[in-house]
Amino acid sequence: MTSSGNPIGNRVIASLARPGGNVTGLTSYTAELLDKRLGLLKEVLPKVTRFAFLNAASRATRGSAIAFKDAQGTAGVLGVKFQFVEVKAQNPDIEGAFRFMVQERIGALVTAPGPAMSFHRKSNLQLTEQNRIPAIHPTQQWANEGGLMSYGANTDEQSRRSAVFVDKIFKGAKPTDLPVEGPMKFEFVINLQAAKKIGVTVPQSVLFRADKVIK
């Protein structure tokens, strides 16, 4: 695995320390990531009280649903309603999800990680801009392509570290004996061009903490 979303929740491995079976590598998942994204978005939008979490339902994203439930405690502390919005992984009705969010008066969006959401990244970004819904996304690729913000594991670093696992396995190591490693470096990216398009002013206190600001 070069960057598995939640290998324990998805039952790919037994644990990080003792993966078992024939799978090892890296995971980009930590339980606190969704809480962090929600908190950052609330800092940018202190007056917004209705947030949504957009997920694509599949076995690979089971961990996202679990993380959402865990994040309800953080939502309560922040004083916001955090709503679960889910589409099918195959042929997802992204437009329908956004129509629902507009009807529900959702003021901000957290996009779930996962291959289905990433594959439909362009549609997601177009609809967030069209409906003027500020959003935070799981990886830098989203912000680079026009998303307002992203916070997540550094995918380039994950790929480089995965080469170490490949080398060990080629030299005879068994995957079951190699502990799965979590992310070591995270990136917070803000796209000020996107902010301007949807009329969002990012506070300086948040800008100072960004690893990268797209102007």
Could you read off the pLDDT of 31-63 as tens digits, one per residue? 579 999 999 999 999 999 999 999 998 765 677
Q: How far is CA 114 from CA 65, 117, 146, in A?
A: 12, 6, 18
Residue 90 is predicted with a pLDDT of 87
Beta strands 108-111 and 149-153: pairing type? unpaired
Count of residues making up the chain: 215
Residues 6+ apart with CB under 8 A from 48: 42, 80, 107, 108, 134
Please check the confidence at residue 12 and state whether its pLDDT lies above 90.
no
Read off the amino acid at residue 173.
A
- Provide, for the chain, the percentages of residues in helix, strand and coil under a 3-state DSSP scheme, each rounded to the nearest 5: 40, 20, 40
pTM of the model: 0.88
Q: How far is CA 172 from CA 162, 176, 178, in A?
A: 16, 12, 11
**Paired tokens of 100:** 């629902």
Contact 13, 7 (CB under 8 A): yes
Q: What is the mean pLDDT of residues 141-145?
A: 96
Residues 6+ apart with CB under 8 A from 176: 18, 19, 20, 21, 22, 24
Tell me what percent of the residues of the chain surpass a pLDDT of 70: 97
160-213 pLDDT, tens digit per residue, is 899 999 999 999 999 999 999 988 889 999 999 999 999 999 999 999 999 999
Please check the confidence at residue 8 and state whether its pLDDT lies above 90.
no
Radius of gyration of the chain (CA): 18
Which residues are paired to 60 by β-bridges?
Answer: none
Residue 195 is predicted with a pLDDT of 98
Distance CA 27, CA 152 (A): 11
Instruction: Write down the CATH superfamily of domain 33-153+185-214.
Output: Response regulator (3.40.50.2300)
Write down the residue that tokens 């609330």 correspond to.
42
